[in-house]
Amino acid sequence: MRAVQFTEYGPPGVVHVADVEAPHAGPGEIRVAVRVSGVASGEVRIRSGALREVVPVTFPFRTGFDAAGVVDEVGAGVTGVGVGDEVFGMTTTAMRGANADFAILAAWAPKPAAWSWEEAGGAAGSVETATRVLDRLAVRAGHTVLIQGAAGAVGTIAVQLAVGRGATVIGTASEHNHDILRALGAEPTTYGAGLAERVRVLAPAGVDAVFDCAGGSLPDLIAIAGDPARVVTIADLTAAAYGVHLSHGAPSDNTGAAVGAGADPLAVHGLAIAVTLAGEGRLRVPVAAAFPLAEAAAAHELSESRHAPGKIVLVS
pLDDT by residue for the chain (316 residues), tens only, comes to 999 999 999 999 999 999 999 999 999 999 999 999 999 999 999 999 988 887 888 999 999 999 999 999 999 999 999 999 999 999 998 889 999 999 999 999 999 999 999 999 999 999 999 999 999 999 999 999 999 999 999 999 999 999 999 999 999 999 999 999 999 999 999 999 999 999 999 999 999 999 999 999 999 999 999 999 999 999 999 999 999 999 988 664 443 344 444 778 999 999 999 999 999 999 999 999 999 999 999 999 999 998 889 999 999 9
Angle between helices 153-164 and 124-136 (to 10 degrees): 50
Q: Based on the domain organization, do 116 and 10 belong to the same domain? A: yes
Domain limit, last residue, from 259, 276, 295? 259
Same domain, 115 and 143: no
Judge if 93 and 134 occupy the same domain: no
- Please give the C-alpha separations between residue 298 and each of 48, 72, 290, 291, in angstroms, as whole numbers: 14, 29, 10, 8
Element (H, E) at 249: none
In eight-state DSSP terms, residue 284 is -
215 and 307 share a domain?
Answer: no
Side-chain half-sphere of 114: how many Cα atoms within 13 Å? Answer: 14
Domain containing residue 176: CATH number: 3.40.50.720
Of 309, 291, 305, 307, residue with least CA distance to 39? 291
Distance (Å, whole) CA 311 – CA 42: 13
Is there a domain that residue 296 lies in?
A: yes
253 and 294 part of one domain: no
Residue 274 lies in a domain: no
Residue where one domain finishes, among candidates 241, 259, 277: 259
Q: Are residues 160 and 141 in the same domain?
A: yes
Q: Is residue 266 part of a domain?
A: no
- Residue numbers of the domain that contains 6: 2-123+285-315
Alpha helices in the chain (DSSP H): 41-48, 117-121, 124-136, 153-164, 178-184, 195-202, 218-225, 257-259, 270-279, 296-305
